[in-house]
């Protein structure tokens, strides 16, 4: 049965798709809106790959020494802001750059492929457009691994069952406990704190918001078939609470309410997406499979302060005011950028590390 992408695009949406051709060393991009396909462009893959490799190295450097000092390794291709600038020039097709400058388009639906998932598309596209961040895609950016998963998420997002939240908490971490408590207070519907995997299974198909504040990890990914893609990620419960893995969702043992929102918060859980950051894709797919329509997560580990500000604010605005998730994420990201305590944390040349990791996958 074939379905179409077009009916799922709003009048102010533009979508961009990236497709990697390793053997041709090129990126094929396609851009379109709800009326028509605007254009395709072939971009050289090598410079994008180089820049993203450097990007990952710098993120790892910062993550490893966060709070200790600045990166020791001299960046050969420039610092993070330079990389954002360069990626804007070589990974953003002309049609998307033009769309970003066009105020008609308020939301971007990004369909990256492979390593492009690790690119902070929202920041990069702003640089490509050469406009202030406040004027580009003012309703936010939504990501999906493929057009099919976007359509899937849109179909799921129509659920109308009673809302209920489960908050996964890593025990013994005061900062996480505080974050979870803040979220619970912000929610206008019942919630429970989950400390064991089996507790989660008992809530099958009831959970409309799964908020994860725990540790995660991934295996070193290798090649699966002819594509670099790993799935071996896990979210830990401490104190013998077990762990969550992809097959818990694929096997149907853990099922969410259709259309559920999953938020993977806390700096440590960012490790889920560490390493080759497009690992996130495997996790997103598994959560979609379990019924989620939206997954809000981070591409790399990030400071508590930023995570709490953005994740908790987004959840609050979405559930209290009915703001669309993409829009809520964007406004909370902007307020984090202008928040003095958070700005104080940002070292020179590192602002993309603080404001670039957030990704909303799904229906938006």
Residues that bind other proteins (CB under 8 A): 1-6, 17, 19, 21, 23-24, 28, 30, 32, 36-37, 39-40, 42, 111, 113, 145-149, 151-152, 155-156, 224-227, 229, 231, 246-247, 250-252, 282, 285, 288-289
Question: Which CB sits closer to other proteins, 26 or 339?
Answer: 26
We find the least distance from the C-beta atom of residue 227 to other proteins, in angstroms, to be 4
We find the least distance from the C-beta atom of residue 9 to other proteins, in angstroms, to be 10
Question: Which CB sits closer to other proteins, 30 or 100?
Answer: 30
We find the least distance from the C-beta atom of residue 212 to other proteins, in angstroms, to be 20
Question: Which CB sits closer to other proteins, 245 or 332?
Answer: 245
We find the least distance from the C-beta atom of residue 23 to other proteins, in angstroms, to be 7
Question: Which CB sits closer to other proteins, 246 or 307?
Answer: 246
Question: Which CB sits closer to other proteins, 229 or 324?
Answer: 229
Question: Which CB sits closer to other proteins, 158 or 343?
Answer: 158
What dihedral do alpha carbons 355, 223, 253, 265 form, nearest 10°?
A: -10
Structure tokens at 11: 């009048």
Chain position carrying tokens 């999906």: 144
We find the least distance from the C-beta atom of residue 151 to other proteins, in angstroms, to be 5
**Dihedral class, residue 260 (left if φ above 0, else alpha if ψ from -120 to 50, else beta):** beta
Q: Which long-range contacts (CB under 8 A, 24 or more apart) does 4-13 make?
A: 4/151, 5/147, 5/150, 5/151, 6/34, 8/150, 8/151, 8/154, 9/33, 9/34, 9/109, 10/34, 10/107, 12/104, 12/105, 12/106, 12/107, 12/139, 13/105, 13/106, 13/107, 13/108, 13/109
We find the least distance from the C-beta atom of residue 209 to other proteins, in angstroms, to be 20
Reference 359, options 314, 305, 320; nearest CA is 314
For 227, residues 6+ apart whose C-beta sits below 8 A from its C-beta are 114
């Amino acid at each position: 049965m074939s379905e179409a992408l077009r009916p799922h695009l709003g009048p102010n949406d533009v979508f961009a798709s990236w497709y990697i051709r390793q053997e041709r060393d090129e990126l094929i991009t396609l851009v379109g809106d709800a009326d028509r396909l605007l254009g395709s462009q072939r971009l050289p893959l090598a410079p994008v790959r180089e820049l993203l490799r450097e990007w990952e190295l710098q993120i790892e450097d910062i993550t490893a020494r966060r709070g200790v000092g600045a990166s020791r390794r001299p960046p050969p291709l420039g610092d993070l802001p330079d990389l954002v600038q360069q990626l804007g020039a070589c990974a953003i097709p002309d049609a998307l750059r033009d769309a970003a400058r066009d105020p008609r388009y308020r939301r971007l639906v990004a369909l990256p492929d492979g390593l492009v998932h690790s690119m902070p598309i929202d920041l990069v596209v702003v640089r490509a457009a050469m406009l202030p961040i406040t004027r580009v895609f003012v309703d936010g950016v939504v990501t999906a691994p493929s057009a099919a998963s976007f359509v899937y998420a849109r179909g799921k997002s129509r659920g109308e069952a009673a809302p209920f939240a489960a908050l996964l908490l890593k025990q013994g971490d005061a900062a996480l406990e505080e974050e979870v408590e803040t979220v619970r207070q912000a929610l206008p519907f019942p919630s429970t704190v989950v400390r064991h995997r089996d507790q989660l299974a008992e809530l099958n198909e009831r959970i409309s918001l799964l908020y994860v504040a725990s540790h995660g990890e991934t295996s070193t990914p290798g090649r699966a078939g002819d594509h670099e893609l790993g799935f071996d990620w896990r979210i830990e419960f401490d104190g013998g609470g077990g762990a969550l893995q992809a097959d818990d969702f694929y096997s149907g043992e853990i099922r969410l309410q259709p259309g559920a929102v999953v938020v993977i918060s806390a700096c440590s859980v960012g490790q889920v997406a560490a390493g080759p950051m497009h690992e996130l894709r495997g996790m997103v797919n598994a959560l979609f499979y379990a019924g989620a329509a939206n997954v809000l997560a981070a591409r790399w580990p990030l400071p508590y302060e930023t995570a709490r500000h953005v994740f908790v604010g987004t959840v609050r605005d979405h559930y209290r005011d009915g703001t669309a998730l993409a829009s809520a994420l964007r406004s909370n990201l902007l307020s984090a950028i202008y928040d003095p305590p958070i700005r104080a944390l940002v070292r020179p040349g590192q602002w993309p590390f603080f404001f670039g990791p957030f990704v909303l996958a799904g229906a938006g």
